[in-house]
Structure 1
């Protein structure tokens, strides 16, 4: 019946499809791109903002800890970034954004109720275990956002929950969700929260087990989730490996782990369709070079996961910054978010 009505409506809306007219009255209606409308905006700190949005047709409910690609138009250009969903599973999605970088700063400081986001479905394997198990959460900075979704999902629903959260923040003022965590831990004895203010106490030392032994003596028996800066993740990965417990650790990275730059690499990048040439070193990604040059570059996760940034290599060589692999075959699809010039190269962009 719906398809019959749309075909009938098309007689009056031709040559535009009916959905183009429907979207004038309902911003969530789109046959081509999933959308969401901002329903609430609240400040968490001076630099961090939580944004709730009501998704339209096609959105799949998220699992606690997952992330989604969010698109927003800035100066007439649609920019995509990936953000962890901080709301509990089963609730309308929220993202908590800290102002760092062009897109995150725009979202944190300029988003208003009624604004429209462009969306991609939730994804990610940084999720709660399937059965009851004591948990340890190690987070720092904005790395607490996916873990907050887990805590909001698990703690109110399970009386047998046993969670230790160790969260690091540079200052007390910049620590996210402090009041809410204090209230949750006061009401639920299964949640134990430890804040580490690094400007006063220094960072947690994961080069040995001493800090963990003092804060959470039974950490070896817990399923552990870690999310934060790259050096923290690398140190945790090494520590759990040395303790012969790698299967007990789940890591969520906001940035791709890259190899050291190779001296003497880099070159001239030619963006053929944009008719631009840019000199680049061997450590800056093709995506960053193109964006800095004002070229419209497709992107999503910016970590080599979603493959939204795939761009044909027309000639020359590029280097995968994660593995060091050189790509030089004409027509290769290059992930620009994790590749850099390894000599002169031409891209179909």
Structure 2
């Protein structure tokens, strides 16, 4: 370690990995990277990537996310994605299934340009949305759209463990063609009689989500641990049912879309100062991340929903509102997450 620190000192101002990547991008000392080894675009609007991480990768807990760093036009962009791997996968491979958003800079770039051999930056797996170490007796997995990825990781993990409890995997999509890994889901259910895979296509068969549906597929859901990831409408419906039943503590959620309580128009006033950049902007009521971008700045971010902490910056002064909870925060010189904080009156942010 002392020798490494000496080498780092000699290569200042750039870290030693910046020089090593000129020789071989996957040769790193401290930074973690991953090489794309497989690309699949067979599901419309979806990109599946297989990655081989560098030696620093030490695995994940099923349901966690990773951050990928992708350079586009000379600028590094971070995004969060949930691997679909079982946590017992021994191949040292990382499998990602990425929904391509019409306005998603990184997802569209990868969908168009990703190919075997491309090297991406990679951060360690993180997040509290994962199976508990002591497996519950019954597990209900609910997802919709791209929310399938973390719960599929959980399902694969339970299957690899030959888990003996009851499992229901309930997924909502617009059509069968838009369900990634559909054949594997059927195969898992065929091999494990205790696992039931229930696919629903509300636009086609009219079978939407509701209490009756839960009673049909998992009549024991109030006694289970439930893991939920999907669009806001689905998540809100599930939350209401669990709250009504008095078992909200048994529901564990991950969100890919940030939801925010309505902003009080009386709070939308004042000036936001981005002091490190000497830029000011009138408060628009949006997140500080969106406001900074509208002002021409490019702060780093990953998830845009308060999960990954990539957009953390210091609030030098003023009051901000947490967009998830509605709480007001005024302590000076405190780190805040730009994507889930909005200015209330005059605010100074150190970016």
Structure 1 and Structure 2 fold alike (TM over 0.5)? yes
Distance apart, 1:73 and its partner CA: 1.2
Query: Is the CA contact 1:99–1:109 (under 8 Å) kept in the aligned structure 2?
Result: no
In 2, the alpha carbon distance for the partners of 1:75 and 1:8 equals 30
Query: Is the CA contact 1:66–1:146 (under 8 Å) kept in the aligned structure 2?
Result: yes
Q: Does 1:201 align with 2:202?
A: no
In 1, the alpha carbon distance for the partners of 2:212 and 2:146 equals 25
In 1, the alpha carbon distance for the partners of 2:143 and 2:25 equals 36
Among 87, 105, 109, the residue aligned to 1:106: 109
Summarize the alignment of residues 41-190 of structure 1 with structure 2, pairs less than 5 Å apart: 41-91=39-89, 92-100=93-101, 101-129=104-132, 130-131=134-135, 133-158=137-162, 160-190=164-194
In 1, the alpha carbon distance for the partners of 2:59 and 2:349 equals 37
Summarize the alignment of residues 1-349 of structure 1 with structure 2, pairs less than 5 Å apart: 19-91=17-89, 92-100=93-101, 101-129=104-132, 130-131=134-135, 133-158=137-162, 160-202=164-206, 204-206=208-210, 209-267=211-269, 268-282=271-285, 284-349=286-351
Distance apart, 1:196 and its partner CA: 0.8
In 1, the alpha carbon distance for the partners of 2:288 and 2:163 equals 49
Runs of 4+ in 1 over 6 A off after TM superposition: 5-11, 13-17
Query: Is the CA contact 1:136–1:224 (under 8 Å) kept in the aligned structure 2?
Result: yes
Query: TM-score if structure 1 supplies the norm length?
Result: 0.87
In 1, the alpha carbon distance for the partners of 2:200 and 2:77 equals 34
Query: TM-score if structure 2 supplies the norm length?
Result: 0.86
In 2, the alpha carbon distance for the partners of 1:276 and 1:203 equals 51
In 1, the alpha carbon distance for the partners of 2:228 and 2:212 equals 18
What SS is found at the alignment partner of 1:317? strand
1:136 to 1:316, Cα distance in 2 relative to 1, 3 A: closer
Q: What stretches of structure 2 of length at least 5 have no aligned partner?
A: none
Cα offsets for 1:38-95 (capped at 9, x unmatched): 1211125121111121112432211111111221112111111211111111332222
Query: Is the CA contact 1:312–1:348 (under 8 Å) kept in the aligned structure 2?
Result: yes
1:263 to 1:162, Cα distance in 2 relative to 1, 3 A: same
Moved more, 270-279 or 336-345: 270-279
Query: Is the CA contact 1:141–1:176 (under 8 Å) kept in the aligned structure 2?
Result: no
1:110 to 1:15, Cα distance in 2 relative to 1, 3 A: closer
Distance apart, 1:20 and its partner CA: 4.2
In 2, the alpha carbon distance for the partners of 1:251 and 1:16 equals 40
Moved more, 2-11 or 302-311: 2-11
Q: What stretches of structure 1 of length at least 5 have no aligned partner?
A: none
What SS is found at the alignment partner of 2:153? helix
Aligned length, in residue pairs: 344
Instruction: Give the aligned CA root-mean-square deviation in angstroms.
Output: 2.8
What SS is found at the alignment partner of 2:108? helix
Query: Is the CA contact 2:283–2:345 (under 8 Å) kept in the aligned structure 1?
Result: no
